[in-house]
Structure 1
Amino acid sequence: MSTLRVVLDQVGSAQPSGIGRYALELTRALIETAPRGVGVSGIVASSPDEEYRRIAQELPGLASLHKSSLDRRQLAAAWQHGFTRLPGNGMVHAPSLLAPLYNHDRLNNPGEQFVVTVHEATPWTHPETLAPRAVAWHKAMARRAQRYADAVVVPTHAVAEELAEAVDFGERIRVIAGAVSSELTVPHDVDARAQALGLPERYVLAVGPLEKRKGIPDLLWAMGDVHAPDVPLVLVGVGDVDIEQLEHQAHLDAGRVIALGTLPDADLAVAYARASVVVVPSISEGFGLPALEAMGLGAPVVHSDAPALLEVCADAGLIVPRLDAAGYPRRLADAIQSVLDDDALATQLSVRGRDRARAYNWRDSAEKTWQLHADL
């Protein structure tokens, strides 16, 4: 029996990162669509027992789980410097650049193959928006992938083009998009959850970390602009921040920003579904999952003209050019106001968004992944 070994990076966390959620959904779909006679096993960094139990619960069809003796940080350093050997052999699929890459002979042993995933080209296109250590690690692992990976998966053609300009992967790049989590659905107790979250009747929503590359600082400035609508801004996923300081810096009245931290899927779905408009103001983006999540739940979306967002959203969102940085917040403010003032436009965006979101699903992603390994 052949086995596809998947690196389950951050999958067992109580609140998985974006890569953790991607790895979980893809692995679940890979198990469901596995060809006859092929199993799916996992590779995971040393973790607390509750994380192993969570993996077993979330992925009941997993054939086996290889538990490294190294924690994630140690494993990342070891794999970066070439200490990569794993028990057994066969296909390895890494849902990120965290991969045990080494020199191998695929021509004489076609079952031994390594595929990695690069979610965005930000370390090369906008390195100033990331921590220097993160930039260095991504570039180092990309160099190992250039030498040893048999294929490189990217989520959009936009990332494929940007990455190709930075690293010569030849013909090894394959575009396979992600999708919205199967668990992101509106629960039956919508009103109770909205009240518990403190969601106002009308609000602008943004989902993502408070990072320059994600454009959240620009959105804060936009909400403080004289052209901005007088509605609250709800932020999800910004982490532990001083909201009063953010409001003061952006010249916003006290109480104008509501920070909800990281939310479970049911609460996140409610936040999306109740939003008057969802803004995805990314300066640099690889896929733009919040835009697709919002569209799938019927929220009108305003987004930047980052190439990946233009590709994923097509004509289903209202586009705001980034152009000059100084004028970007005001353009965001104008776009948000136009959606809030025009019910017909909001409805049109909602309908288009739902249609666009249906074009992406995890089964399709998994089938394309299996085909990639078959092609190798």
Structure 2
Amino acid sequence: MGAQLRVVLDQASTVVDADQARAARDLTAGLIATAPRDCTVDAIVPSGADVDIEGIDEVRKLPLGRRELAASWQIGLAPGVGAGLIHAPSLMAPLVKHDRLHDNHQIAVTVWDLNAWEAPQTLPKSTVAWQRGMLRRAAKHADAVIVPTHAMAERIAEFAKLGDRVRVIAGAPPSGFVAPVDGVGRRRTLSLPDRYIVLSGSQERLEHGFRAASAADVDAVVMDAADGTEPQLADLAAAAGLPERRAHVRGVLPAEDRAAVLAGASAFVATNTLAAWPWRAMEALAVGAPIVAVDSGMHRDTIAEGGVLVTIDDLTDAVTEALGGAAQRLGVLAADRAKAFSWASSAERVWALHADL
């Protein structure tokens, strides 16, 4: 018997989170490619949105734009959505009371990070309130809450009573994320040196990465810096012993530039320990960058044997070692670890989840 799986593509026209928007597209493409016989993939989108994903069967455009839709769904109003199998690649979902058994109406949502609970100071207050409110609605109405790692599955239980509805389905690097052939040229355009490490983590954690770069006598690159934070990060680097000229702070870069930066890095250093899917670490794995990461449940679930996991106190020594004779070996391990993740595999597990429900 066939089925229609309806995917919420809320960022089809307005991108709020580029990583999650790309993940939603990649997952949807994977769902189409792995659809069981006689099953189709439909899309639910805000007003004015267009879907250009090949293989989508039907597109239901709702009467509200994304911003209005987010407010409406937050208070439990979901006009025009209809029943059926609904899969939301984020917390943006029509979480309302429904009858799964008699009406074959399912709602599954996805939580990529717990920053609204663990690090609310890093987000706008409105975003924190919305995410917390939507998780409360998920606790009441979702048939399944998907998280990308087992570490997050354990952690989310501290913030919502979800019982056995929590399911673990990993993400993957962006489809087609490879080192570009013009990587050297792109790095020069970004005014990067020949030798550097890439740092990832919250602002307060980046201090440890800057200190490691200083000790290893190498430049440091920070991507995804928020607007206006470059002076603060430069001061943070200087306080950690890394001269301002050797701290290269960049904002949000397109995927091609990120691939070039990561592929040219002597090491990728992940300092974050929050319960959040490590988007950049996945990309570092995909291009085979040597990885050194602070040990955490998230990094054990994702990087695992694809890099070196150390305590924060041992980070400096580990980075220095990685920049020496271990670099080539770590690069090979990273590339091998990347093969454990694919959107096709994630999609197959999503189909199995909805079949189980």
- TM-score w.r.t. the length of structure 1 is 0.86
2:215 aligned residue:
228
Equivalent of 1:142 in 108, 131, 135:
135
Report the Cα distance in structure 2 between the residues aligned to 1:170 and 1:29, rounded to whole angstroms: 28
Q: Which moved more, 1:132-141 or 1:226-235?
A: 226-235
2:107 aligned residue:
114
CA contact (8 A) 1:222 1:228 kept: no
Report the Cα distance in structure 2 between the residues aligned to 1:226 and 1:269, rounded to whole angstroms: 21
CA contact (8 A) 2:292 2:319 kept: yes
Report the Cα distance in structure 2 between the residues aligned to 1:31 and 1:114, rounded to whole angstroms: 19
**Percent identity between the two aligned chains:** 41
Residue type at the aligned position of 1:355: D
Equivalent of 1:269 in 259, 280, 283:
259
4+ runs of 1 displaced by more than 6 Å?
none
Q: Which moved more, 1:159-168 or 1:228-237?
A: 228-237
Report the Cα distance in structure 2 between the residues aligned to 1:245 and 1:161, rounded to whole angstroms: 34
Change (3 A) 1:267 1:84: same
How many residues are paired up? 353
Asked if 1:182 corresponds to 2:191, the answer is no
Report the Cα distance in structure 2 between the residues aligned to 1:206 and 1:254, rounded to whole angstroms: 15
Q: Which moved more, 1:59-68 or 1:354-363?
A: 59-68
Query: Any gaps of 5 or more consecutive residues in structure 2?
Result: none
Residue 74 of structure 1 and its aligned partner are, at CA, apart by 1.6
CA contact (8 A) 2:139 2:162 kept: yes
Residue 196 of structure 1 and its aligned partner are, at CA, apart by 2.1
CA contact (8 A) 1:125 1:162 kept: no
- TM-score w.r.t. the length of structure 2 is 0.91
Residue type at the aligned position of 1:196: T
RMSD between aligned alpha carbons?
Answer: 2.3
Equivalent of 1:351 in 323, 328, 332:
332
Change (3 A) 1:83 1:226: closer
Residue 370 of structure 1 and its aligned partner are, at CA, apart by 0.4
SS in 1 for 2:28: helix
Q: Which moved more, 1:119-128 or 1:27-36?
A: 119-128
1:24 aligned residue:
25
Asked if 1:202 corresponds to 2:189, the answer is no
SS in 2 for 1:6: strand
Q: For 1:52-104, what per-residue CA distance to the aligned partner results, in whole angstroms no more than 9, with x for missing partners?
A: 2xx31xx0211222223323222111101011133442111001111001111
Asked if 1:99 corresponds to 2:86, the answer is no
1:325 aligned residue:
none
Change (3 A) 1:332 1:13: farther
2:315 aligned residue:
332
Change (3 A) 1:270 1:225: closer
Q: For 1:151-205, what per-residue CA distance to the aligned partner results, in whole angstroms no more than 9, with x for missing partners?
A: 1111000011111232121111111001011121122223322322223111011
2:292 aligned residue:
302
Asked if 1:367 corresponds to 2:348, the answer is yes
Residue 292 of structure 1 and its aligned partner are, at CA, apart by 2.2
The 5-angstrom pairing of residues 124-163 of structure 1 reads 124-163=117-156
SS in 1 for 2:109: strand
Residue type at the aligned position of 2:157: A
CA contact (8 A) 1:34 1:370 kept: yes
SS in 1 for 2:251: coil
Query: Any gaps of 5 or more consecutive residues in structure 1?
Result: 208-213, 323-327
Residue 142 of structure 1 and its aligned partner are, at CA, apart by 1.2
Change (3 A) 1:118 1:258: same
